[in-house]
Chain A
Amino acid sequence: MRKHNSSLVNGLTRRSFIKAAGLAGAAAVFGGGAPVVLAQSRAPLKIGALNSYSKVFAALGNANVNGMALYFNSIGNTIAGRKIEIIREDDEINPQVGLQKLKKLVESDKCDLVTGIQASNVAMAAVQYLRQSRAFMLCSGAGLVNLAFTGLPYFFRSSVNTYPVHSSMGEWVYDNVSKEVLISASDFAGGRGSLKEFKDGFEGRGGKIIKEIYPPLGNNDFSPYFADIRNINPPSTFHFYAGTDAVRFVNQYAEYGLKDSIPITGSGFMLDSDTLPAQGRSAMGIRNVLHYADTLDNAANQEFVEGYRGAHNEYPSVYAEYGYVAAAVIHAALEAIDGNTSDRDKLREAMLAVELDAPRGPFKFNQKTQGPVHNVYIREVAEVDNRITNKVIHTINNVTDPEKLPA
């Protein structure tokens, strides 16, 4: 059967196409190939990094692993004589995919422990699996409050619980900004959840929520909502947006002159190193809350920021800090038990006992919920050393998970 002559005229035949693609393919695939595991006297320490490395959360997943790798590199990639091997798997922000990859990490790759999971829906699905499999997980991502109450002995969270973070902000806004507020967030679980956390703190102090607005996730144009806000003219506003929505919202809020007339506050996730470069001056002066700021003045943070800048030529985001702290926790816990991961209960005890100076400040685990105990910072976007970032204007110490799951 004769094939298309016209392609011969153009010079691109099937054969040349295959050759070109094949060469390029071989170079690309094996150029950036899988990490090499050196032969060691002890079995390598396999750490699974289950994150989203594609789609909207790609930057988060990559930052997370970068932070972890940075710490491990600084200790020579070895703990108690065991070489560290990080195995990345992409959950594609899809719970079922995440579950499959988790199973692969635990059952097929035989990871000693699994870290990561930025997406809350994947995290919830993972918890179900962990219940059955009793695998060891150190969550270095998802901040939803439910994860503090899983009751699983081998589930730790070193990242954050957004509940006390946002509710502290609610209280602070009531005390320092205004007694009434208009709030908005993207219409998804993360957005609605964050606003509810803020409301608990704000209304708990006696504050009044004037209106709640939920633009759709991925919204392009916030101008209809801004017209609404200007009409209502609240004394202040609080918002939660992530990713591209955060960039657009903050930029457009300034573009429409709202920033000068109506005080704006928000969640720190909306104004962190992953979005600030794109937000630029539009973000200046916005007060927000987070458990970390890259301008924190402590030794651990200086080492972390300098190291990250050296390795990646940019400032670390909070997601990188998650990974860095997780790695530090793993280091501390495993050193205490001489790298022996076969006894989960011993590992658990060692982890519960971990106390360290993290980039975010002092860190230890809540003995009941196995979540973090750390500082929460009220920050303000400002220009520091020719760079737009957050400076800390108020510190709240020893913040941790609430006693029980809030209603």
Chain B
Amino acid sequence: MDFLVSQLLNSLVFGMLLFMMSAGLSLIFGLMNVVNLAHGSFFMIGSFTAFTLAKWSGNFWIALAAGWVPAAAAAVLMERIFIRPLYSRSHLDQVLLTFGFIFVFGDICKYLWGPDIRNIPPPEALEGAIIVAGAVLPKYRLFLVAFGVAVAVLLWLFLERSRIGAMVRAGVDDAATAAGIGINVPFLFGCIFALGAALAAVGGIVAGPVLGTYLGMDIEILIPAFIVTVVGGMGSLKGALVAGLLVGAIDTFGKAYFPDYALFLIYLLMVVVLLKRPQGLFGVVKG
């Protein structure tokens, strides 16, 4: 029984991690219609920056508070200089552009931090585990779940309840009209891109103590992030959350009970969703 409870918590935690990784990607596509293949790169940059900050300051929270800044800054530059000229071109070109940045960012990280594996140590307060009903629950992972929920709530508040969020939604629905009533759409898009990158970076920071910080993590999380966003629906926050938990569950229970098929099942899920319901579980069909 406690085996089941353990696995349940494991899947919850992993699901939250996936949600954090995918929220940014989903946001950018849903609101800007841009598929950012370099999403994983922001994840990685955030993780490495936090590692350095944590090392200098000895404090995890400082690293979390400030580690996402370089990634967001890089995103702003990237959007302003490279993506903006391509808004009028096809999505093909935008996707390809972001693909090229994977290589650029990857080598920049390699240049700045070298090829060694790094690790962001979790804060001392969150080291160790608590035991509940015979199941071992590491404190840091519980924090991850809570943090993920907090991020989800904050994002929801921002999008649904704030004026800025309303402007964003307006800009997405109909950019021409939004511009017509005075909303600075390009500026807004820039903000959204930066927000998406910041989310990815924060994901990389909080995931650091669990996954490690190393070159290649950008490519590694790209596929799971895509699966979650596709299944959940591009642009849907609720979708990213639900799909993250779903994929987390399949992955965890799959590894425990069907080790040979877990990976296959996840990709199969992606295929089925794309065919039966291309907009995902909670996505909106785009005109």
Q: Which residues of A contact B (CB under 8 A)?
A: 4, 6-7, 10, 12, 55-56, 58-59, 62, 214-216, 218-221, 223-228, 230-231, 243-244, 247-248, 251-252, 255-257, 274-275, 277-280
Main secondary structure on B side of the interface with A: helix
Which A residues lie within 8 Å of B140 (CB)?
A: 255
Which B residues lie within 8 Å of A278 (CB)?
A: 116-119, 212-213
CB pair A6–B117 under 8 Å, yes or no, is no
CB pair B216–A56 under 8 Å, yes or no, is yes
Docked Cα-Cα span, A1 to B115, in Å, equals 45
Q: Which of B115, B136, B215, B251 contacts A256 (CB 8 A)?
A: B136
Which B residues lie within 8 Å of A214 (CB)?
A: 259
Interface size class of B (residues with CB under 8 A): 35 or more
Segment touching A, from B64-72, B80-88, B166-174, B194-202: B80-88
In the complex formed, the residue of B with least CB distance to A256 is B136
CB pair B255–A224 under 8 Å, yes or no, is yes
Docked Cα-Cα span, A387 to B80, in Å, equals 45
CB pair B216–A247 under 8 Å, yes or no, is no
Segment touching A, from B2-10, B35-43, B151-159, B230-238: B2-10
CB pair A243–B117 under 8 Å, yes or no, is yes
Which A residues lie within 8 Å of B212 (CB)?
A: 244, 247-248, 251, 278
B121 near A: Cβ within 8 Å?
yes
Which B residues lie within 8 Å of A219 (CB)?
A: 255
A-B CB proximity, top 9 nearest:
A278-B119, A58-B115, A227-B6, A223-B10, A224-B256, A224-B255, A6-B85, A255-B138, A59-B115
- Decide yes or no: A225 and B3 within 8 Å by CB, A59-B116, A275-B117 being known contacts: no
Which B residues lie within 8 Å of A230 (CB)?
A: 6, 136
22 interchain pairs, CB-CB under 8 A: A7-B85, A10-B85, A55-B216, A62-B115, A215-B255, A220-B14, A221-B252, A221-B255, A224-B10, A224-B256, A227-B3, A230-B136, A247-B214, A248-B212, A252-B210, A255-B129, A255-B138, A255-B141, A256-B129, A277-B116, A278-B119, A279-B119
CB pair A244–B214 under 8 Å, yes or no, is yes
- Decide yes or no: A221 and B7 within 8 Å by CB, A252-B210, A255-B129 being known contacts: no
Those of B155-190 within 8 Å (CB) of chain A: none
Docked Cα-Cα span, A83 to B215, in Å, equals 35
Which A residues lie within 8 Å of B131 (CB)?
A: 257
Interface string of B102-146 (1 = CB under 8 A from A): 000000000000011111010000001101000010101100000
CB pair B255–A257 under 8 Å, yes or no, is no
Most A CB contacts (10 A, CB to CB) among B118, B131, B209, B215 go to B215
Which A residues lie within 8 Å of B73 (CB)?
A: none
Which A residues lie within 8 Å of B84 (CB)?
A: 6, 10
B62 near A: Cβ within 8 Å?
no
